[in-house]
Amino acid sequence: MKKRNKKILFTFDYELFLGKNSGDVLNTIITPTNKILSTLSKLNSRAIFFVDATYITSLIDYAKLHKKCQSDLLYIENQIAAILDGNHDIGLHIHPHWLDATYNSDSGCWDLSEDKKYAADSLSKEELDQIFHASFNALNSLIKNHRPGYKINAFRAGGLCVQPFNLFHPYLHAFKIRNEFSVLRNAELNMIHYKFNFKAVPKADFYIFKEDVLIPDEEGDYVEYSINKFSLSFLAKILNSFYFRLSNLLLKTKNQGVGIVPNIDNNTNQKRSLLMYIKKPATETLSIENINITKFFSYLFYLKNSSYIHFISHPKLIRPGQLLLFYFLISILKIFGSDLNYDYEKWIELKKK
Ligand SMILES: [Zn+2]
């Protein structure tokens, strides 16, 4: 047994679906997050919830016109209070394409399918100024209502599109946010409206940087906490493939649409031919919504052998059975003597403050 002390990050992107139909706040965010909070509390674990603050500003704008937006905002505010009471962190998450969102007052849901402003580099300077300041202020004031002394100190870019970082730097600097969580190790995405290239990621799991999220620089103001990818074993890949065929056949389950969230991680929970499974290594992010019974031991093996673990999950995608598997995974880790260290701000020291 090696590496008993584990630096561990459980992160959640707290947001609606980002395509044609956003889903309802209760089903998509509030209810699943309550289940997550109760699981984390049983595990005595801490997490970071990256709250989509662009959603909050939209709710504030529309609250004057629609009562439902006002009550949805109250749900979010109360849940943010519950998250803080659970000793978790709130991080800033920004999806600029909320600028083009439309509200459907009949369904109480949003249409976020216009995605040409998905990434920060598609925005004008004025739009960037507006969206960053409005989002930070909206989230910050919700927090301050409940916890005046709390300071937001974590950031994740929408869709992980954090390049070029010089677009983000002036705002994060102004808000004194030092911790960045958008670099998915060795991943690359090249779509019209959203792209990133993290192929040249440094070896270190977390590091100080200054101007470029991929270039460590001890003199910098920021810490990058990179996101792990993990590979399924050959056997797990085959089992997983059968598992999905069988469950699709028996339950006729349809995966909920994830809208235009870019498919960044070759999620293995997809129908693929067996041959494709054999040929291609299946890598995915460590995500609660990716866990199933056939992957349980792959996850356990990976977690047992890693000293740095970065989960990225989405309340909107998690089913209760997966939370139970997650609960067992983490409990088993602890039973086998792993000491889980959640104090990410103490893992590395910035020179400048
Ligand atoms: Zn997001």
Domain boundaries, the chain: 5-228+285-346
* Residue given tokens 């004194």 in the structure block: 176
Helices and strands (DSSP H and E) totals, the chain: 10, 15
d(CA 1, ligand 1 centre) in Å: 36
Query: Per residue in 290-332, pLDDT tens?
Result: 998 888 988 999 999 999 999 999 999 998 899 999 999 999 9
Query: Per residue in 213-271, pLDDT tens?
Result: 999 999 999 999 999 988 877 777 777 777 777 777 666 544 443 333 344 444 445 55
d(CA 325, ligand 1 centre) in Å: 24
d(CA 98, ligand 1 centre) in Å: 11
Q: Amino acid identity of 165?
A: F
Query: Per residue in 84-129, pLDDT tens?
Result: 999 999 999 999 999 999 999 999 999 999 999 999 999 999 999 9
d(CA 94, ligand 1 centre) in Å: 7
Report the candidate in 165, 233, 223, 232 with the shortest Cα–Cα distance to residue 198. 165
Q: What single-letter DSSP state applies at residue 226?
A: P
d(CA 182, ligand 1 centre) in Å: 10
> pLDDT exceeding 70 applies to what percent of the chain?
89
Report the candidate in 348, 261, 288, 301 with the shortest Cα–Cα distance to residue 11. 288
Say if residues 103 and 66 touch (Cβ distance below 8 Å).
yes
Report the candidate in 198, 228, 222, 183 with the shortest Cα–Cα distance to residue 10. 228
* Separation of alpha carbons 295 and 311, rounded Å: 15
3-state secondary structure of 299: helix
Fold of the 5-228+285-346 domain: TIM Barrel (3.20.20)
d(CA 12, ligand 1 centre) in Å: 9
Q: Is 337 exposed, middle or buried (0-12, 13-18, 19+ CB in 10 A)?
A: exposed
d(CA 60, ligand 1 centre) in Å: 19
Instruction: Report the pLDDT value the prediction gives residue 128, as an integer from 0 to 100.
Output: 97
Instruction: Report the pLDDT value the prediction gives residue 271, as an integer from 0 to 100.
Output: 52
d(CA 129, ligand 1 centre) in Å: 19
d(CA 40, ligand 1 centre) in Å: 21
In DSSP notation, 12-51 reads EEE----SS----HIIIIIHHHHHHHHHHHHHT---EEEE
Contacts of 293 by beta carbon, 8 Å cutoff, 6+ apart: 243, 325
d(CA 210, ligand 1 centre) in Å: 24
d(CA 275, ligand 1 centre) in Å: 32
Cross-strand partners of 154? 179
Query: Per residue in 16-38, pLDDT tens?
Result: 998 899 999 999 999 999 999 99
pLDDT above 70 (res 144): yes
Whether the CA torsion 101, 77, 30, 91 is positive or negative: it is positive
d(CA 338, ligand 1 centre) in Å: 30
**31-43 vs 67-85: helix axis angle to the nearest 10?**
0
Q: Amino acid identity of 33?
A: T
How many other CB atoms are there within 10 angstroms of residue 274's CB atom?
12
